[in-house]
Amino acid sequence: MSTQDKVAIHKLPTGVPGLDEIVGGGLPEYSFNIIAGEPGSGKTTLAHQFVFANATPERPALYFTVLGESAIKMLRYQQQYTFFDPAMLPDAIRFINLSQVVLEKDLGAVLEEITKEVEKSNPAVVVVDSFRTMVRKPQSDMDLQSFIQRLALFLASWQATTFLIGEYAEDELRDNPIFTVADGLFWLRQTAERNSIVRKLQIIKLRGQDSVPGLHTFRITDAGVQAFSRTFGLTGHAKNPPSHRRLSFGIAELDKMLDGGVREGDSVLIAGSSGTGKSVLATQFIAEGIRQGEPGIVAVFEERPQAYAERATSLGLDLETPQKDGKLEILYLRPLDLSVDETMHSILDAVQKIGAKRLVIDSLAGFEMALSPGFRADFRESLYRMIFALTGIGVTILSTVEVDESFTEFPFSTYSISFLTDDIVRLRYVSIDGQLRKIMVVIKMRGGNHAKDIREYEITSKGVVILGKRLTEYQGLISGVPVHSDRSGAKEEPPQDTGIEHRS
Amino acid sequence: MTIRRKTRDLARRLLEYEAMAGESPESMESASTRVYEKLRQSLGEFVGAAGFHSLASRALALARPDAPSLSAARVTADGSFEDLGEIEPQIDDDKDQAGEYPSGGGGAILITRLLDLLLIFLGESLTLSLLRNAWPSAAFDDRNSVHGRKA
């Protein structure tokens, strides 16, 4: 069958930010869906968002309430959400209470009542909330499966997109005839992870749609449910073509060590212990980008944006003006129960808003602490997805990470995340001539020809300044306690390693 | 519990509207009875008979201290009133010196209390949306007064 012979399934907006992406572009029109989950998981709110996004006076939504939550209380609370538009009631959205029918009659009468109302109103959307309370009653004239089958057939024929809402536990998923009949099955979960609540959404099935598999985090705010796709909403974005551009740090000597700068679209890791200047380097990187017309984002977790900008000012770097000009956004993300997906959402919003080319994450330790404990276990995997997604759209990421200073080892990162990065610059303290000095070295540069030099640097009022030539007079510098070599008396200065002469 | 001005105005509008609509010779019901029945039909659809019964019972309890004529009134299971139309349209004048209620006796007080509950639970915007369903051609606010509304 050619493409033009196939029926086109119209996709309806879910009204839930982020959910359209997860369900493959929208909810199939005329589909028969179930929203399942435990009490308080957001089922009703999700259904309301769909209703408010799709109902019109010409094709209204019928919202059947059954036993359970009082309709008055439901509306009292639901109207607090920003999506709730009272003006849509009752012309576009009608709430119909079926509790009397359910209590006094059987499922056949319920079906009859729904049928009567649907035929009268010609709705585009039908919701039965809560469906589960209706079917818990002992059945008489019609068994449950038959009821569901007939309801699904009837509503599909009347061109209504339907949601049945039910309280279900995980173990009820198997062998349930209701789930077999449904075109779409949305499962909402909420679990307590130490002191945090983690909400997750799964599309267990969705006929005719290429939905994103897996568990997606979601949050309920005053705007209702907001979902965060595991793919960060980037499935529809084309990858940026590979770039050969090099991005400068604004530190000439460091650019030389990096064979001309960081390759655009790379993920760079600046690793070092406290006070070695990781944040200073990151600030210089973002400031240089702005100077060259590349908007940037700084995601900070350990200090507030104002403090971050003031520290930059002390280094002679103006981060206030570019913020006002829309060239820089400093994101402060520290609610302590974030998911990586939510963080990514904030970052991506900012990236798209200002067209950012550079992103600084300062620091990964702070990022991890901002996450809900339940997400920390997946930190590496989440970080991998995030970096892959962002670099895929051409953003160059610089992350800082604190490593324990050891005088016997030279770890790149306590997170074992070096495999996630294209380039690693290691900063560390070293004891030389009775002073605690600082050295830096480029450990890794994927696809680049970086210098192997170990260079001494200082943090001055102008930021990181790399001193002199490479340190050739000492052995064992990376141990932190080098030994002065005999070459210290040599008259001839060693050539500076720019990377060109040291191809590996 | 003091009645807010907006509730009083709303009740007065509905009662006036139904009073005008009921001027025909065949109309035997009082304005307050017709308002109450329309509210019962309209709200009963979405809160259910039991839900409306609860609201009406609460409104009755709140209205009784100000309207002794309601002391014998009862709300039935389907939310309707026993003998609402026969309730003596009398008000305890001592307690309405502030002019809290629109004229119309115990029925008007009951309607006012019922509307007040809706405003408390649902807010003005949603309450007006629901009332427009029962009174599509009535004017409830400035917007409708200015622009009119299709019946």
Q: Is the pLDDT of residue A278 over 90?
A: yes
Give the pLDDT band of residue A493 (cuts 50, 70, 90). low
Distance from CA of A78 to the nearest CA of B (A): 10
Q: Contact A317/A284 with Cβ under 8 angstroms?
A: yes
- Supply angle C-alpha A401, A404, A408, rounded to 5: 130
pLDDT of residue A246: 92
Cβ–Cβ of A97/B122 closer than 8 Å?
Answer: no
Q: B119-150 in b/e burial notation, b at 16+ Cβ within 10 A?
A: bebbbbebbbbbbbbbbeebbbeeeeeeeeee
For A450, phi and psi rounded to 5 degrees?
A: -80, 160
For B61, phi and psi rounded to 5 degrees?
A: -60, -40
Torsion of CA A59, A77, A72, B45, to 10 degrees: 10
* Better pLDDT: A81 or B68: A81
Model pTM above 0.90 = no
Max CA separation in chain A (angstroms): 104
Per the structure, the count of domains in chain B is 1
Question: What does the pLDDT average to over A263-291?
Answer: 94
| Of the candidate ranges A132-146, A177-191, A276-290, A328-342, the one whose mean pLDDT is the lowest | A132-146
Selection from A362, A306, A317 nearest residue A461 by Cα: A317
Selection from A41, A43, A50, A40 nearest residue A17 by Cα: A50
Q: Contact A52/A115 with Cβ under 8 angstroms?
A: no
Give the pLDDT band of residue B103 (cuts 50, 70, 90). low
Max CA separation in chain B (angstroms): 43
Task: Tally C-beta pairs within 8 A across A and B.
Answer: 60
Distance from CA of A130 to the nearest CA of B (A): 14
Selection from B95, B97, B83 nearest residue B32 by Cα: B83
Say if B120 is an interface residue toward chain A (CB within 8 Å): no
Question: What does the pLDDT average to over A423-427?
Answer: 93
Q: Is the pLDDT of residue A503 over 60?
A: no
Q: Which residue of A has its CA nearest to B55?
A: A72
How far is residue B101 from each of residues A51, A333, A477, B33, B64, measured CA to CA in Å? 38, 53, 90, 16, 13
CA A77 to chain CA centroid, Å, is: 28
For A447, phi and psi rounded to 5 degrees?
A: 70, 15
Please identify which residue in the block is written with the tokens 């399942």. A36
Q: What is the pLDDT of residues B125-138, one digit of tens each?
A: 889 988 988 898 88
Average pLDDT along chain B: 78
Nearest residue, CB atoms, A97 vs list B48, B128, B130:
B48
| 3-class DSSP assignment, residue B95 | helix
Question: What does the pLDDT average to over A424-434?
Answer: 89
pLDDT of residue A100: 84
pLDDT of residue A85: 94
Q: Between the ranges A8-17, A166-175, A300-309, A383-392, where is the mean pLDDT highest?
A: A8-17
- Supply angle C-alpha A329, A325, A270, rounded to 5: 35
pLDDT of residue A468: 80
How far is residue A306 from each of residues A323, A326, B116, measured CA to CA in Å? 11, 16, 48
Q: Rounded distance, CA A230 to CA A100, Å? A: 43
Distance from CA of B135 to the nearest CA of A (A): 12
Cβ–Cβ of A70/B122 closer than 8 Å?
Answer: no
Amino acid at A487: R
pLDDT of residue A192: 77
Give the pLDDT band of residue A481 (cuts 50, 70, 90). confident
Give the pLDDT band of residue B150 (cuts 50, 70, 90). very low
Nearest residue, CB atoms, B121 vs list A72, A95, A99:
A72
Cβ–Cβ of B45/A99 closer than 8 Å?
Answer: no
For A399, phi and psi rounded to 5 degrees?
A: -115, 145
- Supply angle C-alpha A419, A211, A383, rounded to 5: 20
Q: Is the pLDDT of residue A284 over 80?
A: yes
Residue A360, beta-bridge partner list: A298, A398
Nearest residue, CB atoms, B122 vs list A75, A97, A98:
A75
| Of the candidate ranges A196-205, A416-425, B105-114, B120-129, the one whose mean pLDDT is the lowest | A416-425
Give the pLDDT band of residue B49 (cuts 50, 70, 90). confident
Question: Hey, which residues 2-41 in chain B have their CB within 8 Å of chain A?
Answer: none
pLDDT of residue A142: 52
Average pLDDT along chain A: 84
Q: Rounded distance, CA A435 to CA A478, Å? A: 15
pLDDT of residue A465: 93
Q: B12-34 in b/e burial notation, b at 16+ Cβ within 10 A?
A: bbbbebbbeeeeeeeeeebbbbb
Query: Cis before residue A121, ω within 30 degrees of 0?
Result: no
Q: Is the pLDDT of residue A389 over 90?
A: no
What is the distance between the terminal CA atoms of chain A, rounded to a whole angstrom? 55
Distance from CA of A40 to the nearest CA of B (A): 21
pLDDT of residue A293: 95
Helix axes A305-314, A278-291, angle to 10 degrees: 80
Determine the structural domain holding residue B56 and report its residue range.
Answer: 5-150
Q: What is the pLDDT of residues A225-244, one digit of tens each?
A: 999 888 776 655 555 555 67
Say if B134 is an interface residue toward chain A (CB within 8 Å): no
Cβ–Cβ of A89/B45 closer than 8 Å?
Answer: no
How far is residue A429 from each of residues A270, A272, A439, A484, measured CA to CA in Å? 14, 9, 6, 16
Q: Please give the sequence-ordered ranges of beta strands (E in DSSP) within A168-295, or none if there are none.
A: 184-193, 196-206, 215-221, 224-228, 246-247, 262-263, 267-272
Percent of chain A with pLDDT over 70: 85
Give A-chain residues touching B51 at CB under 8 angstroms.
70-72, 97, 99
Q: Contact A459/A280 with Cβ under 8 angstroms?
A: yes
Give B-chain residues touching A93 at CB under 8 angstroms.
none
Give the pLDDT band of residue A30 (cuts 50, 70, 90). very high
Q: What is the pLDDT of residues B12-46, one digit of tens each?
A: 999 989 888 766 555 556 888 899 999 999 898 88
Q: Rounded distance, CA A322 to CA A318, Å? A: 8
| 3-class DSSP assignment, residue B74 | coil
Q: Contact A34/A179 with Cβ under 8 angstroms?
A: yes
How far is residue B15 from each of residues A433, B11, B107, B131, measured CA to CA in Å? 96, 6, 10, 13
Question: What does the pLDDT average to over B90-112?
Answer: 69
Query: Residue A62 is encoded by which pair of tokens?
Result: 């019928």
Q: Rounded distance, CA A163 to CA A497, Å? A: 67
Q: What is the pLDDT of residues A318-374, one digit of tens each?
A: 999 999 999 999 998 766 667 777 887 888 888 889 999 999 999 888 888 877 676
Distance from CA of B134 to the nearest CA of A (A): 10
Please identify which residue in the block is written with the tokens 């086109």. A8
Cβ–Cβ of A71/B123 closer than 8 Å?
Answer: no
Q: What is the pLDDT of residues A122-158, one digit of tens each?
A: 999 999 987 776 665 555 445 677 788 888 888 888 8
How far is residue A308 from each of residues A168, A279, A292, A323, A346, measured CA to CA in Å? 47, 9, 21, 12, 18
Q: Is the pLDDT of residue A108 over 50?
A: yes
Q: Contact A341/A379 with Cβ under 8 angstroms?
A: no
Q: Which residue of A has its CA nearest to B135?
A: A90
Distance from CA of B48 to the nearest CA of A (A): 5
Residue A113, beta-bridge partner list: none
Q: Please give the sequence-ordered ranges of beta strands (E in DSSP) within A235-355, or none if there are none.
A: 246-247, 262-263, 267-272, 296-300, 328-332
